[in-house]
């Protein structure tokens, strides 16, 4: 199925709709030296929103759907305070201006048509233009540091997709609905008002050469490998990690980064917690209510 390249997003989504995606795509998954997948995760949006479907699976034909099957993660409240309660500064989980706002299939933005008041173009290498080249000012500053650190390590990062307005997301989502129906659209694009891209706190990266852009095989590229290991130092998490789609609502996207601040991102990394839903003690959001 995979031959020498990963399938494109349209093929991936079609396979998922047929119930074949995870099994057929197993051969596309990167493996580390121990034979397990080199990445952990779920998925978000590539080019259309934080909801495109690009599944990966473990390096064997049989894949467990349990979100903790491959990588145990800490559970808040087991003999200790929840991770977020241990931090010096707390932020709102509902205010879209907050770096901790959680947006998923159970938690739309309030208001739905929120637009960040401080959108700026970050000083990074761009692979896009227009509104998608913008981020909120805090994320833009952090992205500048992240990209500079990657460059110093010999790794090229590009901003492939940043802010996406409610209007843009509406047009994108409706396009999917018109061509594929609502059920299929919900596997490929976030509904308007339910996308992290609309907050200005999230963006997608590329590697400068376009290799495996928005495809499962991007996980093998130096850009994805480097951010997975280092993004937390600059306040970012890979928002939709591998095999945790039942928690996040989206299959693994190694390109989708979300800013939550260095303290919280570092705390998540230290405790081995992979999703913001678990970190903040929120319910899983595998499907829209």
Per-residue pLDDT tens for 164-220? 999 999 999 999 999 999 998 998 899 999 999 999 999 999 999 998 999 999 999
9-279 belongs to which CATH class? alpha beta
Distance between CA atoms of residues 119 and 164, nearest Å: 11
284 secondary structure, DSSP code: P
- On whether the CB atoms of residues 218 and 224 are closer than 8 A, the answer is yes
CA 80 to chain centre: 28
Q: What is the pTM assigned to this prediction?
A: 0.75
Average pLDDT score over residue span 256-275: 97
Whether residue 110 has pLDDT greater than 60: yes
Q: Which of 34-38, 152-156, 162-166 has the lowest mean pLDDT?
A: 34-38
In this model, does residue 119 exceed pLDDT 70? yes
The H or E element that residue 236 is part of is strand 236-238
CA angle 103, 17, 64 (to 5 degrees): 75
Average pLDDT over residues 16-30: 37
H or E stretch covering 111: none
Encoded tokens for 258: 């979300």
Q: How far is CA 228 from CA 15, 36, 117, 178, 183, in A?
A: 27, 16, 29, 35, 31
pLDDT higher at 33 or 202:
202
């Amino acid at each position: 199925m995979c031959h020498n390249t990963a399938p494109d997003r349209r093929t991936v989504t079609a396979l998922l709709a047929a119930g074949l995606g995870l099994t057929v795509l197993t051969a596309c998954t990167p493996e580390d030296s121990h034979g397990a997948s080199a990445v952990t995760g779920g998925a978000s949006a590539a080019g259309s929103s934080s909801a495109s479907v690009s599944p990966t699976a473990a390096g064997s034909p049989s894949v467990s759907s349990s979100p903790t099957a491959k990588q145990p993660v800490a559970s808040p409240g087991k003999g200790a305070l929840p991770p977020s309660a241990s931090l010096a500064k707390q932020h709102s989980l509902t205010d879209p201006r907050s770096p901790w706002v959680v947006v998923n299939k159970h938690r739309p933005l309030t208001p739905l048509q929120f637009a960040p008041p401080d959108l700026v173009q970050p000083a990074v290498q761009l692979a896009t233009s227009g509104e998608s080249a913008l981020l909120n000012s805090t994320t833009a500053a952090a992205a500048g540091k992240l990209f500079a650190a990657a460059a110093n390590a010999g790794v090229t990062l590009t901003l492939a997709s940043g802010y996406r307005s409610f209007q843009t997301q509406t047009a994108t989502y409706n396009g999917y609905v018109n061509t594929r129906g609502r059920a299929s659209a919900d596997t490929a694009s976030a509904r308007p008002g339910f996308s992290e891209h609309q907050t200005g706190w999230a963006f997608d990266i590329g590697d400068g050469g376009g290799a495996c852009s928005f495809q499962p095989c991007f996980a093998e590229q130096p850009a994805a490998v480097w951010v997975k290991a280092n993004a937390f130092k600059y306040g970012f998490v890979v928002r939709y990690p591998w095999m945790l789609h039942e928690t996040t609502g989206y299959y693994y996207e190694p390109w989708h980064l979300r800013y939550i601040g260095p303290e919280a991102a570092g705390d998540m990394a230290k405790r081995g917690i992979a999703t913001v839903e678990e970190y903040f003690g929120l319910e899983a959001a595998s499907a829209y209510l």
